[in-house]
Amino acid sequence: MPIYRKVFENNQKWIAEKKATNKQFFAKLAEGQNPDVLYIGCSDSRVTAEDLMGVKAGEVFVHRNIANVISNNDLSVMSVIEYAVAYLHVKYIVVCGHYLCGGVESAMQPKDFGILNPWLRNIRDVYRLHQVELDLITNEKQRFKRLVELNVEEQAFNVIKTAVVQKSFLETGYPTVHGWIFDVETGELIDQNIDFTEKLGCIREIYDLAE
């Protein structure tokens, strides 16, 4: 059976399972959402959002794109952040990258990727910011891994550069911003332990939008 037919069969099974454990499951979903977490991750089919975190429907607001990039002029991701912070009042924003990320790997190639070029430029910019450190890593797999980590950090910093995050945090103490890596080879989720308040202070020296 082709996958696009199979999903409708799966969907019916899923509805039956949900109703079997909780008759009110869909009535509850229809009442609205109140997620505490905004998750921004890669579109990679192996890096599921809810599944890898073990969370239920309604618990996490999700945005995914190639290589979990938070680009200042991407109206989509900027709208997601604005809505999640100003209207949903999320407590945590997570940028989750993953090892073996095809987007990051492509940005390391000397190649013209056509319409993908401006997107991958965001990652090449991360490389340029950390060129000294990265060029010292002779093992290519290790260098690739390190760029994945640095990309998560820089994209998390891009979240902290937004006015909505700065203002909300200074007024309410939320949201805090975090960087995670998903290791595709082991399934493990690794916290990059970004010191949010320290980074917020550094970033506001130049990108202060909180007045």
Number of residues that bind Co ion (CB under 5 A): 4
Least distance in angstroms from the C-beta of 46 to Co ion: 8
Q: Is 46 among the catalytic positions? A: yes
Catalytic, 42? Answer yes
Look up 89 and say whether it is catalytic. Answer: no
Nearest alpha carbon to residue 94 among 29, 130, 47: 47
Q: What is the DSSP letter of 205?
A: T
| Pairing mode of beta strands 60-65, 176-182 | unpaired
Quickly list DSSP for 27-78: HHHHT----SEEEEEE--TT--SHHHHT--TTSEEEEEEGGG---TT-HHHH
Among candidate residues 46, 135, 191, 208, the one labeled active-site is 46
The arrangement of strands across the sheet holding 176-182 comes to: 60-65, 37-42, 92-98, 176-182, 189-191
Q: Is residue 42 near Co ion by the rule CB under 5 A?
A: yes
Q: Any contact of residue 44 with Co ion (CB under 5 A)?
A: yes
- Of 12-20, 36-44, 179-187, 201-209, the window that binds Co ion (rule: CB under 5 A) is 36-44
Choices 103-111, 121-129, 166-174, 199-207 (CB under 5 A): range interacting with Co ion:
103-111
Binding of Co ion at residue 52 (CB under 5 A)?
no
Q: Which of 77, 94, 101, 147 binds Co ion (CB under 5 A)?
A: 101
Q: Is 202 among the catalytic positions?
A: no
User: Which spans of this chain sit near Co ion (rule: CB under 5 A)?
Assistant: 42, 44, 101, 103
